[in-house]
Amino acid sequence: MPPKDIPTHLMGLIKKAHRLELEYLNSLSDGERQATGTYEQWAPKDRISHITYWRRRSVETLSYLSRGQNPPEYPGYEECNRQNFEETKNLSIQALLREAETVLSAFPLALARFSEEDFRKPNFHPHLKNRTLLGYAINDAYFHPLYHITDAYLKLGNIAKVNQLQDQMMEDITVIDDTPWSFGTVYYDRACFYALTGNDEQAVDFLARSFTLRPDLVNWAREDGDLASLREDPAFQALLNSSNTTQPG
């Protein structure tokens, strides 16, 4: 049964994600940690800046929702990412980690404002669309950071670490959030990393599990670059053709 003390459990996941971010950074040389990237090819510290930006947005959004207010109308996802990159690209990793700690310290109060019912209530607020408040908080504070750290290890060729992080993330998220949306999301992400590491059969298997729970992802998968290795796979094509769902909004 999912835990009832959701804020405490969420904070455990948030802190765990940050520990994994630090573990990744500590596996690099000082030169790699301080390297300057481009928007098209992020350096390690750009990943940390990006993760912190979206965590900060999550804290802001939770604060608005706790007061029954609509969050601000932010620019589009890509525009926000580019703006954050330009604003932080010349900062040191030390400065970025200090900001990360500041944002992390704001989470307990932001989460404590909500009840168990609030976290699990369907349609808690129109801003969340088809997600629960719990699903929203997990995504921005834990799932999203782990995606980027896993991707970083993938680019380093550390497939064992990729699989370890992905399997741990699936377990961690589904223990606290047993909704179809959550399961469908983590199954889809697991499928993507299976595809990226050449495990096509396992990728198709997890996509099938995901589509059963989140059929809205079928058309998304048709264009997803992470699934490029599956384009000519008959099992993948059959899976896509088995549904007539529309692209998610």
- Condensed to tens digits (0 to 9), the pLDDT of residues 86-111 reads 999 999 999 999 999 999 999 999 99
Average pLDDT over residues 50-64: 97
Q: Is residue 95 part of a domain?
A: yes
Phi then psi for residue 18, to 5 deg, are -65, -40
- Residue 3: which pLDDT band, with cuts at 50, 70 and 90? low
Q: How many CB atoms lie within 10 A of CB 41?
A: 8
Q: How many domains, the chain?
A: 2
Asked whether residue 62 falls in the same domain as residue 104, the answer is yes
Q: Is residue 38 part of a domain?
A: yes
Tens of pLDDT, residues 199-216 = 999 999 999 999 999 999
pLDDT value at position 1?
A: 44
Last residue of a domain, one of 159, 192, 218: 159
What CATH number is associated with residue 82? 1.20.120.450
Asked whether residue 117 falls in the same domain as residue 14, the answer is yes
Longest dimension (CA), the chain: 50
pLDDT surpasses 80 at 243: no
Sign of CA dihedral 112, 118, 120, 126: negative
Asked whether residue 145 falls in the same domain as residue 202, the answer is no
- Residue 248: which pLDDT band, with cuts at 50, 70 and 90? very low
Please give the residue that has the higher pLDDT: either 198 or 246.
198
Asked whether residue 107 falls in the same domain as residue 28, the answer is yes
pLDDT value at position 242?
A: 84
Question: What is the chain's mean pLDDT, rounded?
Answer: 93
Phi then psi for residue 215, to 5 deg, are -60, -15
Tell me the HSE value of 154 on the side-chain side, using a 13 A CA sphere.
18
Find the domain containing 37 and state its range. 6-159
- Residue 41: which pLDDT band, with cuts at 50, 70 and 90? very high
Asked whether residue 47 falls in the same domain as residue 135, the answer is yes
3-state helix, strand, coil in the chain (%, to 5): 75, 0, 25
Asked whether residue 154 falls in the same domain as residue 55, the answer is yes
Asked whether residue 140 falls in the same domain as residue 225, the answer is no
Q: Is residue 187 part of a domain?
A: yes
Asked whether residue 226 falls in the same domain as residue 185, the answer is yes
Q: Is residue 169 part of a domain?
A: no
pLDDT more than 70, % of the chain: 96
Q: Is residue 164 part of a domain?
A: no
Q: Is residue 174 part of a domain?
A: no
Tens of pLDDT, residues 213-226 = 999 999 899 999 99
Tens of pLDDT, residues 167-189 = 999 999 988 998 898 999 999 99
Asked whether residue 90 falls in the same domain as residue 200, the answer is no
Asked whether residue 149 falls in the same domain as residue 192, the answer is no
pLDDT more than 90, % of the chain: 87
